[in-house]
Structure 1
Amino acid sequence: MEDRPEIKVPFARVDASGNEYQYLKEVLESGWLTTGRFAGMLEEQFTGIIGARHGLAVNSCTSALHLALEALGAGPGTKILVPTMTFTATAEVARYLGANPVLLDVDPTSGLLTPEIVEKGLESNPDAGILMVVHFGGHPAAMLDSDSGRGILQLCRARGVRIIEDAAHAFPARIGDSMIGTIGDVTCFSFYANKTMTTGEGGMVTTEDDTLAERMRTMRLHGIDRDAWHRFSRPGAGWEYDIIAPGYKYNMPDTAAAIGLAQLERHQQMHERRIELATRYMSELQQLVGLGLPACTVPRSDHAWHIFPVMLDPEAPVDRDQLISEMNQRGVATSVHYKPLHRMSYWRQECRLDEAHDARDFPGAEARWRGSVTIPLFSSMTDGEQQHVIDTLEAILEAPTAC
Structure 2
Amino acid sequence: MTVDRMRPREQPGEHARPALSGVSHQRAGPRNRAGEQDVPFAVTRISPEARSAATRVLASGWVTTGYETQLFEQEFAAHVDAEHAVAVSSCTAALELSLRALGLPPGGKVLLPTMTFCGAAHAVLHAGLQPVLVDVDPRTAMPDPDTVARASRACACPDAMMVLHYAGAPAPVAELAEAAQLPLTHVIEDAAHALGTSVGERSVGSLSRGTCFSFHATTNLPIGDGGMVTTDDPSFAERIRRARLHGMSADAARRNRPGDSWRYTVEAAGLKANMTDVQAAVGRAQLRHLDAWQRRRHALAEHYAQSLEVVPGIEPLEAATPGQHACHLYVVRVSEEYGTSRDELIELLAERGIGTSVHFIPLHRMPYFRSTATIPPGGLPGADALFHQLLSLPLHLDLTDRAVDRVCEELARQGAGSPAA
In the superposition, the TM-score normalised over structure 2's length comes to: 0.87
Change (3 A) 1:123 1:290: same
User: Is 1:179–2:179 an aligned residue pair?
Assistant: no
Aligned positions of 1:373-384 closer than 5 A: 373-384=391-402
Aligned positions of 1:21-32 closer than 5 A: 21-32=51-62
CA shift at 1:363, angstroms? 1.7
Gaps of 5+ in 1: 145-150
Change (3 A) 1:158 1:226: closer
User: Is 1:191–2:215 an aligned residue pair?
Assistant: yes
Cα-to-partner distance string for 1:250-285 (whole Å, 9 max, x where unaligned): 001112112211111011111111100000100001
For residues 369 and 158 of structure 1, what CA distance do their matches in structure 2 show? 28
Structure 1 counterpart SS, 2:360: coil
CA shift at 1:361, angstroms? 2.4
Change (3 A) 1:352 1:165: closer
For residues 387 and 243 of structure 1, what CA distance do their matches in structure 2 show? 59
Aligned to 2:45: 15
Change (3 A) 1:160 1:180: closer
Aligned to 1:59: 89
User: Is 1:167–2:191 an aligned residue pair?
Assistant: yes
Structure 1 counterpart SS, 2:350: helix
Cα-to-partner distance string for 1:335-366 (whole Å, 9 max, x where unaligned): 0011100111111222376xx96xx3212111
Aligned to 1:366: 384
Aligned positions of 1:2-401 closer than 5 A: 6=32, 8-144=38-174, 151-156=175-180, 162-232=186-256, 238-245=260-267, 246-299=269-322, 301-351=323-373, 360-397=378-415, 400=418
For residues 210 and 90 of structure 2, what CA distance do their matches in structure 1 show? 15
Structure 2 counterpart SS, 1:388: helix
Gaps of 5+ in 2: 1-20, 24-30
For residues 249 and 335 of structure 2, what CA distance do their matches in structure 1 show? 55
Change (3 A) 1:400 1:213: closer
Structure 1 counterpart SS, 2:353: coil
AA aligned opposite 2:64: T
Structure 2 counterpart SS, 1:80: strand
Cα-to-partner distance string for 1:96-150 (whole Å, 9 max, x where unaligned): 1332111110110111121222233223333310111111100111124xxxxxx
Q: Could you tell me whether the CA contact under 8 Å between 1:222 and 1:243 is conserved in 2?
A: no
In the superposition, the TM-score normalised over structure 1's length comes to: 0.90
For residues 39 and 250 of structure 2, what CA distance do their matches in structure 1 show? 46
Q: Could you tell me whether the CA contact under 8 Å between 1:137 and 1:169 is conserved in 2?
A: yes
Q: Could you tell me whether the CA contact under 8 Å between 2:177 and 2:183 is conserved in 1?
A: no
AA aligned opposite 2:228: M
Aligned to 1:148: none
CA RMSD of aligned residues (A): 2.3
AA aligned opposite 1:88: C
Structure 2 counterpart SS, 1:377: coil
